[in-house]
Amino acid sequence: MDRPASGVSYQRFPRVRIRELKDDYAKFELRDTDASMANALRRVMIAEVPTVAIDLVEIEVNSSVLNDEFIAHRLGLIPLTSAAAMNMRFSRDCDACDGDGSCEYCSVEFHLAARATDSDQTLEVTSNDLRSTDPKVCPVDQARAYQHALGGSEPYDTATAADQRGILIVKLRRGQELRLRAIARKGIGKDHAKWSPAATVTFMYEPEIRINEELMETLTLDEKQGLVESSPTKVFTIDPNTQQVSMFFTFFKCFGVLFSSYYTTM
Amino acid sequence: MEHGSVTDSTASSFSIMEEDHTLANSVRFVLNQDPRVAFCGYSIPHPADNKVNIRVQTTGDPAKDVLKDSLQDLMIMCQHVRGTFDNAVSDFRQNKTAEGMDIDLNKKK
């Protein structure tokens, strides 16, 4: 890239440091850059990272209390493991299947067949009943349960017995049946929120607070205690021995902190 | 699409389709870093249209070249962030397996 000799852009290169990293939660710092970069990162994470979600549903039998499009909508919102999404093609770009989304390069097929038996108990049709033709793409909670059963990862903090049953799609009474075939495709959050991989992405500035030690020395102990107590969130603390006011937290000298929660694995 | 004047190439407005604040705000930030730029700003004519207008006025260089250089800078910055992030993730994972992540400036709650 050629630069004119007269003007050199004062380009800053940002730095990244990870604070916390779990499968569905990441907290990291972004330094030496502007809010516009952090915001652009946040916007792209929400709207433009491709994921896989159910897009086309063919219902063979539905005698449940919910109508067909209701169930199709709910199926679309089920999060699927999308590690393979980057290798897939968008259906409209696929040249192997005329773009109608039925080949292995651009789509994944799911089957669901549930029939409430003649017992009086309500049958809950959940995401665990969705059978995938590609083991790499399956509902996220199925993948989590599988991982947990293998003993690979620690269970998520929010995993309870209820969550192990899967995401509820519809409840069936005795004699009701649901049978359908669903096709999942690659997409981005801009088209429909079901394709957004992020649950929430936020960022905020962390302030840099320095205490003027000289002025602090001129205060009496009562005044120092008044200062410490006046803060609604505990920002300062006072050392009882030396009567020195210091930070309760050690704030990072950073330009911005980006928090994010992803629903799919990073 | 560039709306400029035939006589004065240092100031022109660019209309970019299929883009929004994500690109425009970042490009505006990078343009501001460039000392050749006298004025820069962006606007979205209507939120329903996927279009963004970027106005660039320079101190003598053609506005088109300055914008192009800024877009290149932005691309390099993003690639750098990507590489840095990958390194940070692998470092974190290594440190985590060795012992708990020991951050010296840790927040003491």
Q: What is the DSSP letter of B105?
A: T
- Neighbour-count burial of B28, counting CB atoms closer than 10 A to its CB (0-12 exposed, 13-18 middle, 19+ buried): buried
The predicted model gives B97-103 an average pLDDT of 51
CB within 8 A of B60, min separation 6: which ones?
A: B10, B36
Residue with tokens 């302030």: A207
| Whole-number pLDDT of residue A241 | 65
Q: Do A43 and B108 touch (CB under 8 A)?
A: no
Residue A17 at interface with chain B, using a CB cutoff of 8 Å: yes
Residue in chain A closest to B72 (alpha carbons) equals: A1
CB-nearest to A14 from B33, B81, B89 is B81
Residue with tokens 């990073």: A266
| Whole-number pLDDT of residue A7 | 44
Give me the total of CB pairs closer than 8 Å, taking one residue from chain A and one from chain B.
88
CB-nearest to A13 from B26, B28, B77 is B77
- The predicted-structure confidence for B36-80, as pLDDT tens digits, reads as follows 889 989 999 898 888 888 888 888 888 888 888 888 988 988 888
Query: Domains plus CATH for chain B?
Result: 2-93 (3.30.1360.10)
Q: What pTM was estimated for this model as a whole?
A: 0.74
CB-nearest to A36 from B25, B72, B105 is B25
CB contacts of B33 in chain A (<8 Å) are: 9-12
Q: Which two tokens stand for residue B13?
A: 């407005």
CB-nearest to B33 from A4, A10, A28 is A10
ipTM score of complex: 0.79
Element (H, E) at B41: strand B37-43
| Whole-number pLDDT of residue B99 | 47
Residue B72 at interface with chain A, using a CB cutoff of 8 Å: yes
DSSP-derived 3-state class of residue A249: coil
What's the helix, strand, coil split of chain B in %, to 5?
A: 45, 25, 30
| Whole-number pLDDT of residue A159 | 53
Single-letter residue type at A115: R
Residue B21 at interface with chain A, using a CB cutoff of 8 Å: yes
Q: Do B30 and A44 touch (CB under 8 A)?
A: no
How many Å apart are CA B16 and CA A198, to the nearest integer?
27
Q: Which two tokens stand for residue A113?
A: 């067949």
Residue in chain A closest to B96 (alpha carbons) equals: A21
CA distances in angstroms from A97 to A54, A88, A90, A101, A257, listed in the order given: 18, 13, 11, 7, 44
How many Å apart are CA A127 and CA A79, to the nearest integer?
9
How many Å apart are CA A259 and CA A29, to the nearest integer?
8
User: Minimal CA–CA distance to A198: which of A264, A127, A138, A142?
Assistant: A264
**Exposure pattern of B34-56 as b/e (b: 16+ CB <10 Å)?**
bebbeebebeeeeeeeebbbbbb
DSSP-derived 3-state class of residue B2: strand
Percent of chain B with pLDDT over 90: 4
Residue B82 at interface with chain A, using a CB cutoff of 8 Å: no
| Whole-number pLDDT of residue B103 | 46
pLDDT per residue as tens, chain A (266 positions) = 344 434 455 666 888 888 888 877 888 888 888 888 888 888 998 888 889 999 899 999 999 999 999 999 999 999 998 887 777 777 777 777 765 667 777 888 899 999 888 788 888 898 888 888 888 888 888 877 777 777 655 555 555 555 567 889 999 998 899 999 999 988 888 889 999 988 888 888 776 677 777 777 777 777 777 777 777 776 677 776 666 666 655 433 333 344 444 433 33
Instruction: Indicate the Cα dihedral angle A57, A63, A68, A73, nearest 10°.
Output: -80
Residue A23 at interface with chain B, using a CB cutoff of 8 Å: no
How many Å apart are CA A227 and CA A233, to the nearest integer?
12
Residue in chain B closest to A2 (alpha carbons) equals: B69
Q: Do B96 and A15 touch (CB under 8 A)?
A: no
Residue A233 at interface with chain B, using a CB cutoff of 8 Å: no
Residue with tokens 């390194």: B87
Chain centroid to Cα A105, Å, comes to: 25
DSSP letters along A18-73, please?
Answer: EEEE-SS-EEEEEESS-HHHHHHHHHHHHHTS-EEEEEEEEEEEE-SSS-HHHHHH
Residue A44 at interface with chain B, using a CB cutoff of 8 Å: yes
Residue in chain B closest to A37 (alpha carbons) equals: B26
